[in-house]
Structures are given as C-alpha cells and as structure tokens.
Structure 1
Amino acid sequence: MTDDRIRVRPAAQEDAAVLAELNAFVHDLHVEERPDVFRTATGADELRTLFRSFLARESSLAYLAESGGRAIGYVTATVHRRAGDVLTRPRNFAAIEHIAVDPAAARVGAGSALVEAVRVAAREAGCTSLVTDVWAFNKAAPAFFEDGLGFAPMRHWLEQGL
C-alpha cells in the first residue's frame, strides 16, 4: 500500500547530488558483500558525475520519491531497443538498474511507487516488458520484486571464480 504523502517525480540533472546520497543505502550493502565487484566512491563529486551522466542519456528513466519535503528513494532504469536477429525476436524493454529507499522510510510504498513510475514511462516508450536483476546476497530484493510487484524469474546467472 502506498502512503498518500509520497510523491514521485522525474529526476533531473539538479537531483544528481540527492541520487548520490540515496545511493549509499543500497550500495554500502553491495560493497560489504562483494568488495571484489563493488567499491566505495572516492567522493561525492564522483557519484554526482556518475548520476549526471546517466541522466543525460536519452534512454534513461529516473524518478525520485519524496515525502515530508525530502527525498526518500530513487529508481533508475534504461530503455533498451533490440533489433532482433536470426535467433531472437525484436524487443523493447526497460531494465531497472538501481533502486534505493531510505530505511527510515521503508515499507510505506515508496519502492512500489517508484517501480510503477518506471512501468508507466516504459509503456509510453513502447516497451513490452520490465526487467531487473538482483544480487544473491540481497535477500530482500526477490521478495520485493516477485512477491510484492509480480516480477517472475526469467533466467539465472551463475558465477565461478578463476
């Protein structure tokens, strides 16, 4: 259920610093669990630059959730247009890349509202599906996406260190 006080709006270039700040809520878990893949940003400028670059891309979708006058979460996604080939059909889809909600504001519907904003924008962009992936260590993510939002598994990635 979404709290009526949550407002979702498109993120803009001037929101890069807010996105960078909110990113810590989920990125810190990734750094802790997989330091071989993820690293801590060397500074706020580095993260702001990353988000500004993302927001400048034509294929980018990004939304902020706000409540009580402050940002409490964000989502980023990319629209992909695949032409198809001899083995695959053409398809347009959106892929959620980042989603983070301030733990102090969790379980009031901000995450669901953010994903719904991406769904709407993806449909408007001609996409026929919405996909995401989750890291195995992030135990809350499958329940959020599958049980809470109706996503279904479509493939499994496996890894072997060399």
Structure 2
Amino acid sequence: MNIRVASTDDLAILTALNAIVHDAHVRHRPDLFVSAPARGALEALLIGQLSDPDTTFLIAETTPDGDALGYAMARVAAKHGNARVAPDSIVSLEQIAVDPSASRRGVGSALLDAVRDIGRAAGCRRMVTHVWDFNEGARSFYQASGLRPMNRMLDQEL
C-alpha cells in the first residue's frame, strides 16, 4: 500500500471516496446533510480545501498509480490560549474514508499513522478528531487506535 499527498488531479478519487462517508451521514442525519451534493459545488469545496496550506489530503492506494483504497484529510491548527486554556498545536483528522472493499485491511490505520506523522512534522502536540455518535464502527476504530473521548456535543431540535 502506498500513501501519498493528493492534488487537484485527484478530484474524482476524492469525490468518490467522500461519497462513502457522506452517504452514511445522510442516512443518519438527513436533517443536517445535503442528500446529493452538486458535483460542481463539492469539487469547488475540495479545491478550496486542497489549496489551504494548513490542510493535507492523503490517498491510500494499492500501488503508485493504483486503485484508491481510502483518503484522509488533516488540518494543522494552532489553538490560542486564554486565561483558562493553555495554547496548543494540534493536527485534526477532519475526514477519513476507506472503500468498503478494503475494509479491515489496515488502510484506515495507515492513513491515521500518516496523519500523526503530519502532526509530528508540524510540531503538533496532539491529534484530535470528531466522530458522530451514530458511527459505532468509527468510534471503535479510533479507540482501538489509541484515541480516547475528550468531550461530547449534544443537540436537540427546537
């Protein structure tokens, strides 16, 4: 397996892999997620994210120029401190998706390790991610990978 940094040449790959995660979010929270994002709008969003110097998209593939197995989006961020909170430097795993045909073959772990490496190279102290409560598989994967719950966000329709 090869992990490489994605570019705008990879829009079709990123769009296809994003659909895996997006579809799960739509199934569980149709009140929050657009059921079928317009391709042009999604590509514009991805191009904007790809051009952000603090953001890195990684693609896992079978071999260089091989089939895409998954992707991850990482963002390095400095958190400014205040009277109550210490300053911090983090790498945030914003998105991760693995093609179902490659599930349980180490793709997610390899992507997670690559995100950690990005954080270490940037001098980050921690890696963080958000996970939806409905996504038990992702929560189990993250906890098995050494991440632990940090806080919970609750919501309620009004």
- TM-score normalised per structure 2: 0.94
* Residue number in structure 1 paired with 2:30: 35
Matched, 1:16 2:27: no
CA RMSD of aligned residues (A): 1.1
Whether the 8 Å CA contact 1:77–1:95 is kept in 2: the answer is yes
* Residue number in structure 1 paired with 2:117: 120
Query: What are the within-5 Å matches in structure 2 for residues 9-88 of structure 1?
Result: 9-67=4-62, 69-88=66-85
Amino acid of the structure 2 residue aligned with 1:143: S
> In the TM superposition, what is the alpha-carbon distance from 1:72 to its structure 2 partner?
1.2
Which is further off, 39-48 or 18-27?
39-48
Identity between Structure 1 and Structure 2 (%)? 42
Distance 1:114 1:16 in 2: 18
Q: Which runs of 4+ in 1 moved over 3 A?
A: none
Matched, 1:146 2:158: no
Amino acid of the structure 2 residue aligned with 1:133: H
Which is further off, 84-93 or 42-51?
42-51
**1:85 counterpart SS class:** coil
* Residue number in structure 1 paired with 2:130: 133
**2:140 counterpart SS class:** helix
> In the TM superposition, what is the alpha-carbon distance from 1:87 to its structure 2 partner?
1.1
| Greater RCO structure (CA 8 Å; 6+ sep) | 1
**1:31 counterpart SS class:** helix
Matched, 1:156 2:152: yes
Structure 1 unmatched ranges of 5 or more: 1-5
> In the TM superposition, what is the alpha-carbon distance from 1:17 to its structure 2 partner?
2.0
Query: What are the within-5 Å matches in structure 2 for residues 87-102 of structure 1?
Result: 87-102=84-99
Structure 2 unmatched ranges of 5 or more: none
> In the TM superposition, what is the alpha-carbon distance from 1:32 to its structure 2 partner?
1.1
Aligned length: 156
Amino acid of the structure 1 residue aligned with 2:148: A
Whether the 8 Å CA contact 2:78–2:89 is kept in 1: the answer is yes
Amino acid of the structure 2 residue aligned with 1:156: R
**1:156 counterpart SS class:** coil
Whether the 8 Å CA contact 2:58–2:71 is kept in 1: the answer is yes
Whether the 8 Å CA contact 1:41–1:47 is kept in 2: the answer is no
* Residue in structure 1 matching 2:108, options 106, 111, 117: 111
Amino acid of the structure 2 residue aligned with 1:35: P
Amino acid of the structure 2 residue aligned with 1:88: V
Whether the 8 Å CA contact 1:73–1:102 is kept in 2: the answer is yes
> In the TM superposition, what is the alpha-carbon distance from 1:42 to its structure 2 partner?
3.7
